[in-house]
Amino acid sequence: MNKQEVLQREFLLVRAKVLEIAACLDRIDRAEGDLPQNHQRELLSEAIGHLLGKTGNRAEQIQLLFSREYSDQWRSEFQL
């Protein structure tokens, strides 16, 4: 499939998903109270930022954003 065909096939699906995200963020805003220093909300904003990037690996970038940090020193830290 070429770009246009892929886009045609996915357009309604992606449109619906973007709307879901928009409505969900509105829901958080509408709810009472304040967000405590909220890492999760910031992560979501950062992830949405990645969607506008021009790289071909947005999914991988977003996965890494939501990942705990890896240290290659873990074995000595665990004394294993």
Is residue 70 involved in binding another protein (CB under 8 A)? yes
Q: Site size for another protein, by CB under 8 A? A: 16
What's the CA gap between 65 and 53, in Å, rounded? 14
What does residue 12 show for φ and ψ, rounded to 5 degrees? Answer: -65, -35
Is residue 8 involved in binding another protein (CB under 8 A)? no
Is residue 59 involved in binding another protein (CB under 8 A)? yes
Other beta carbons within 10 Å of 68: 4
Contact at 8 Å (CB) between 67 and 43? Answer: no
Q: How far is the CB of 40 from another protein (least distance, A)?
A: 11
What's the CA gap between 50 and 54, in Å, rounded? 9
Is residue 57 involved in binding another protein (CB under 8 A)? yes
State the residues that interact with another protein by CB under 8 A.
Answer: 1, 57, 59-60, 63-64, 66-70, 72, 74-75, 78, 80
